[in-house]
A = this chain, B = another copy of it.
Amino acid sequence: MANSLQIGVLGAGRIGSLHTELLMTRVPGCTVAAVADVFPEPAEALAAKFGIPRVCSTLDELLSVDGLDAILVCSSTDTHEEAVCSAARRGIAVFCEKPLAVDIASIERMRSAVEQSDTILQVGFNRRFDPNYARLRTAIEGGEIGELHTVRLTSRDPEPPPIEYVRRSGGLFIDMMIHDLDMVRFLVGAEVSEIYTVAECRVDPAIAEAGDVDTAVVTLRFVDRTIATIENSRRAAFGYDQRAEIFGSGGNALTDNVYGNTAVLASESGIRRDVPLRFFLDRYIDSYVIELNAFASAVRNREAPAVDLIDGRESVVLAHAAKRSHETGLPVKLPEFRAAFGLSV
């Protein structure tokens, strides 16, 4: 297609491959012009599968591809800063996977780079585009539940990640709860003023040995007096448990998990249905498609991205604050916590 957005994908791992496939098949007006990875094999395989003309081995090579409109940063977290800053300096739009970085200062440097460019950065919080969560946000915005009083998120994985990953990921608050910390901000539409964490290791003692927890309940106060709770577990026996509930002066709204079929079977032993979709790519596939279309649209129309750098930063700030509360056993006040990072928000 003429005038197709030319996109480069950095990172040919699981999420990079997914985005590449979606861009090539379900995002009209986009073409993946190049894919880059430090490991040549997955990049070449991906390029072959979708007929992508260029395979690069470095960020620089990727950013030098002619006529590139945007890159997708799907590489490891520690490479995000360089990729974001380099692309921004060249005026190339960036879609960056979450978390932007574990280190707040690094995020602030990305913020400078993007703010000094005339391009945009969208952060990969795909769940905002999931039709279920989006419907809750619509309900709040449309006054369907009146003034918002409380929010409750349930987010449980089917299985803990490998212990090796737990060790280097920054732990549950950074690698898992970050999605929910972004989601409460998205739903509430205000900033958090205080956070309190109760967490345990209940799923697997190896997680405690790795210095992490696997079960956590976090309570958040917002500046507009909304109260939210997030409940995380590394393992739900029945699969992937992703639900939300909002309550306000006009009523309540809640979402359920997503199922592969609607069949309900009644027999002597009870009424049952199959477990919900287990794999996050199945559960959230629609959200990824909508997310990438939103990014393409923002790039094409030079609009503000749906999920911006501040969103990307605040989720990380809240994750650190949740962790701090867990460590101290006390509520953490966000204004003071942010100030310690030199942040003024």
* Interface residues, chain A, with chain B CB atoms under 8 Å away: 1, 24-26, 49, 131-132, 134-136, 139, 144-147, 149-150, 152, 156, 194, 196, 198, 200, 202-203, 215, 217, 219, 221, 225, 227, 229, 231, 233, 235-238, 241, 247, 249-258, 260-276, 329-331
Q: Given B24, B194, B241, B268, which contacts A238 in the complex, CB threshold below 8 Å?
A: B268
Taking CB atoms, residues of chain B closer than 8 Å to A136 are: 263
Identity of the chain B residue whose Cβ is nearest the Cβ of A254 in the assembled complex: B264
Distance, CA A152 to CA B139, complexed state (A): 23
Q: In the complex, what's the smallest C-beta–C-beta distance from A316 to chain B, in angstroms? A: 23
Question: Would you give the shortest CB distance from A317 to chain B, in whole angstroms?
Answer: 19
A55 to B: closest C-beta gap in Å: 17
**What are 18 of the A-B contact pairs (CB < 8 Å)?**
A24-B25, A25-B25, A149-B215, A149-B233, A156-B247, A198-B219, A200-B227, A237-B249, A237-B266, A238-B266, A250-B267, A251-B268, A252-B265, A253-B266, A255-B264, A271-B273, A329-B331, A330-B330
Having A25-B26, A200-B225, one finds 10 other A-B pairs with CB under 8 Å, namely: A132-B263, A198-B227, A235-B249, A236-B266, A238-B252, A241-B252, A250-B268, A256-B264, A269-B275, A271-B272
A256 to B261: give the CA distance in the assembly, Å. 9
Contact between A262 and B257 (Cβ–Cβ < 8 Å)? yes
A136 to chain B, nearest CB (A): 6
How near does chain B come to A259, taking the closest CB pair, in angstroms?
8
On whether the beta carbons of B330 and A135 are closer than 8 Å, the reply is no
Copies of this protein in the complex: 4
Q: Are A237 and B131 in contact (CB under 8 A)?
A: no
Q: Are A254 and B247 in contact (CB under 8 A)?
A: no
Q: Please name all residues of chain B whose beta carbon is closer than 8 Å to the beta carbon of A215 when the two chains form the complex.
A: 149-150, 227
What is the CB-to-nearest-CB distance from A287 to chain B, in angstroms, rounded to a whole number? 11
A202 near B249 with CB under 8 A, answer: yes
* Closest B residue to A197 using CB positions: B219
- Given the contacts A196-B196, A227-B198, A263 and B270 also touching, CB distance less than 8 Å: no
The 5 closest A-B pairs by CB, nearest first: A251-B267, A25-B25, A272-B272, A238-B266, A256-B262
Partner of A150, one of B196, B231, B267, B274: B231
Q: Residues of B contacting A132 with CB < 8 Å?
A: 261-263
A131 to B276, CA, bound (A): 13
**A253: shortest Cβ distance to chain B, in Å?**
4
Task: Determine if B261 and A152 form an interchain contact, defined as CB atoms under 8 angstroms apart.
Answer: no
